Amino acid sequence: MIVDWQQYLGPFTVVALIAVGVWEMRQPLSVFRLSVARRWALHFGLWVGMGLIVNFALRLSAIGLADSLGGQTGFLPFFLVQDFCLWCSHWGMHRFGVLWIWHSIHHSDPDMDASTGLRFHPVEGVWDQSVMLGLVWLLQPSVGAVVGLQFLGIASNYFVHANVALPVRVEALLQWVLMTPGLHRPHHSIEMAGQKGNYGIVLSVWDRMFGTLHRRTFDAALGIAGVPAAETIQPLYVLGKLPWREWKRL
C-alpha cells in the first residue's frame, strides 16, 4: 500500500498540539501568569507568519529537496546528525547575539505550554529550515527519513514545552536519552545560568557529552530578565520590536 505520509504533517501539527493540550488540562504543572487566550492568539499569529514567510523565503522544502535528490540515507543516521546539528544551532543562538535576538521571541514567553512550541520568530524559522536543507543536500536522506523526522520534530517540540508533571521515575528514566519537560523548563528560566544549558532538541545525550546538561533547580519564573511579562503578550507589531531591543542590550 502506498501512503503519502507527508500529507498528514499538517493535520498532525494540529492534532498533536490538541492532544498535549488535553494532557496539560488533566495534569497541569503550574498556573499560568497571563491570559491563555491572548498568549495562544499571539502564538497562532506567529505560527501563521512563520509558515507564510518560510514558504516565501524557501520555496523548496526539505521533503521536496530529498525527493529530487533521490538519496537513500536512512532515518537513524540522518536523525542523529540532524539532532546534533540542531543542538549546535541552539547552542549558537544562546552564544551569538545575531542569532539570540531572533530566538529571544521564543524565550520571552513568561508561561510555558505546548503552544510555546509555536512561538518562534520567522527569521529563526528560515534559519532552522536552511540548516535542514543543508543537511538534506549534504547527507541525501531518503524522503521517508525526512518525513519521519518532521513528525518526530513536531511531537518532540510540543512534548518538551508541555506544562505537565510527569511521574518522577518516568521523568528520570526518559532524561537518560531524551529531552523532557523537566529538562527543558530550566532552559526557559529567567535566570541566565539556566538558559545556558539543556540545549537538546530530541536527545539529551549531546548536553551530557558536552557538559551542558544541568538538573539543578533555577528560578521558577520563566522569560527574559528585564522584559516585563505583560509586554510579551502584546500584539505582534509590538512584540516584533523585541529583537531590536535585545540587540541594543547586547
Partner 1 sequence: MLRIALGLFATTSFVFGSAVSAVPEPSTYLMMGAGLGALLYARNRFGKKK
Nearer to partner 1, 31 or 250 (CB): 31
Q: To the nearest 10°, the Cα dihedral for 93, 96, 97, 102? A: -20
- Residue 237 to residue 7: CA distance in whole angstroms: 32
Contacts of 13 (CB under 8 A, 6+ apart): 154
- Residue 78 to residue 203: CA distance in whole angstroms: 13
236 binds partner 1 (CB under 8 A): no
Nearer to partner 1, 38 or 215 (CB): 38
Contacts of 231 (CB under 8 A, 6+ apart): 238, 239
Please state the closest distance from residue 75 (CB atom) to partner 1, in A.
6
3-class secondary-structure state, position 119? coil
Please state the closest distance from residue 181 (CB atom) to partner 1, in A.
16
Which grid cell is 209? 557529552
77 binds partner 1 (CB under 8 A): yes
120 binds partner 1 (CB under 8 A): no
Find where cell 547575539 sits.
Answer: 97
Nearer to partner 1, 64 or 240 (CB): 64
220 binds partner 1 (CB under 8 A): no
User: Could you say which of 46, 71, 110, 128 contacts partner 1 (CB under 8 A)?
Assistant: 71
- Residue 217 to residue 194: CA distance in whole angstroms: 8
Read off φ and ψ for residue 173, nearest 5 degrees: -70, -45
Between 5 and 44, how does the x/- string for binding to partner 1 read (CB under 8 A)?
A: xxx-xxx-xxx-xx--xx--xx-x-xx----xx--x---x
Binding site for partner 1 (CB under 8 A): 2-7, 9-11, 13-15, 17-18, 21-22, 25-26, 28, 30-31, 36-37, 40, 44, 47-48, 51, 54-55, 59, 61-64, 66-68, 71-78, 81, 115, 138-140, 142-145, 147, 150
